Amino acid sequence: MKSHAAVFAVDVGYGNTKVAFRNGAEVATLIFPSLTPVHQEQTIAIESQGLLNVPKTIPIEWEGKTYDVGPGVPLSSRNGNAGGTLADNFCTTDSYAALLGGAFHFANIESVDRLVLGLPVKNFHKYAEHLRQAFTGKLDFGSTQVQVDKVMVLPQPIGALVNFTKYHEFDRDNPHLIIDVGYFTTDWVVATGLTMDERRSGGHQSGASHYYQMIAERIKARLKVAPDGIERIDKAIREGKKYLLAGQDIDLMAYREESQPVIDSTVKVIHNLIGHTEDLRSIVVTGGGAALYASTIRAAFPTTRIDAMSNPSFSNVRGFFAAGEVAMMRDKQRKEGVAA
């Protein structure tokens, strides 16, 4: 039986889609790849009487097309018909909508008072109104139907900032720099308390995927074999394993060292654009690519404390959820005050 959520937060990222919602007293989370291959029936697996596993996906319809969405989507899907997730206008694509539909399905949610979504800092003003209009009201994803009363859109690093306020290291009187290393973009916010300094905040179109792509190019140049996309490179690095290509188990360490300039250049952009650093209480490193960038950030800001968030992949979406609940509470207090 499907349920109602007062607040439902979704971080539809370029690499993964993360979800947070209340399940009793706890905040539940889930994650699946941001990949949307065209739907294909798994008839052989279904008819094999349990001998073969059926991939954990759901067909999601949007604008007359049907996509497979979920944790069982093959990682090679982006190297083909992936729906154009690595694009500046990603939030306007059918893939984005299909991933959002998948989030509702896997969370078993059919109605929402407040849906909280995020955008990269550099695209926030351009696309925030689009998200509010596109996903408010009755949403039809084929087998999944959802009613959304209101959409709230936040810059992605603000989610991490809100999440960080729960920790004892948070200093409300002095600024923190929050660096969110995503799959396609790296965003940063300088904020004192919950007041954002827009002059020192921004985004750069370079994230973990650009690093993986450089590794793929180095492998191709040396071995004369083209990797089948970057998702398996990502998986091998995260799991600390060798990368299988054309029958070879490849140690990626040398290729990672050759691709380090991708990370160096991004951190240099951040350092140059935030200006002075003497007033920073700490730098909060978060996002799915946090582990890749952490050591470079430490070297670039040697006198500033570095706070690494636990479970950085969920940091933004947990913050989105917390911000949504605070906003709901304020709206309720405001209405009660008017009524009194």
**Predicted pLDDT at 169:** 87
Q: How many domains does the chain have?
A: 1
**Nearest CA to 197 among 269, 312, 277?**
277
**How far from chain centre, in Å, is Cα 170?**
23
CATH number for the domain harbouring residue 61: 3.30.420.40
Q: For residue 282, which amino acid is it? A: S
Please tell me which residue, 289 or 75, carries the higher pLDDT value. 289
Q: Which residues contact 271 (CB under 8 A, 6 or more apart)?
A: 277, 300, 301
Coil/strand/helix, residue 90:
helix
Q: How far apart are the first and last CA of the chain?
A: 38
**Predicted pLDDT at 77:** 62
**Predicted pLDDT at 82:** 42
47 pLDDT exceeds 60?
Answer: no
**Predicted pLDDT at 74:** 83
Q: In terms of residue numbers, what domain contains 29? A: 3-155+316-339
Tens digit of each residue's pLDDT (9 = 90 or more) over 79-122: 444 445 678 899 999 999 999 999 999 999 999 999 999 999 98
15 domain-assigned: yes
- For 197-289, where are the alpha helices, taking DSSP H only? 208-223, 231-239, 253-258, 260-274
**Nearest CA to 316 among 90, 126, 157?**
157
43 pLDDT exceeds 70?
Answer: no
283 domain-assigned: no
287 domain-assigned: no
Tens digit of each residue's pLDDT (9 = 90 or more) over 113-151: 999 999 999 899 999 999 999 999 999 999 899 999 999
Tens digit of each residue's pLDDT (9 = 90 or more) over 192-229: 999 999 999 999 999 999 999 999 999 999 999 999 88
Classify residue 93 by burial, with Cβ atoms within 10 Å: 0-12, 13-18, 19+.
middle
Please tell me which residue, 191 or 53, carries the higher pLDDT value. 191
130 domain-assigned: yes
Report, as an integer, the average pLDDT of 250-278.
96
**Predicted pLDDT at 335:** 79
290 domain-assigned: no
Q: What is the secondary structure of 176-213 as a DSSP string?
A: EEEEEE-SS-EEEEEEETTEEEEEEEEEES--HHHHHH
**Predicted pLDDT at 229:** 81
266 domain-assigned: no
Coil/strand/helix, residue 113:
strand
Please tell me which residue, 49 or 30, carries the higher pLDDT value. 30
91 domain-assigned: yes
Give CA–CA dist 260/336, Å, rounded. Answer: 55
11 domain-assigned: yes
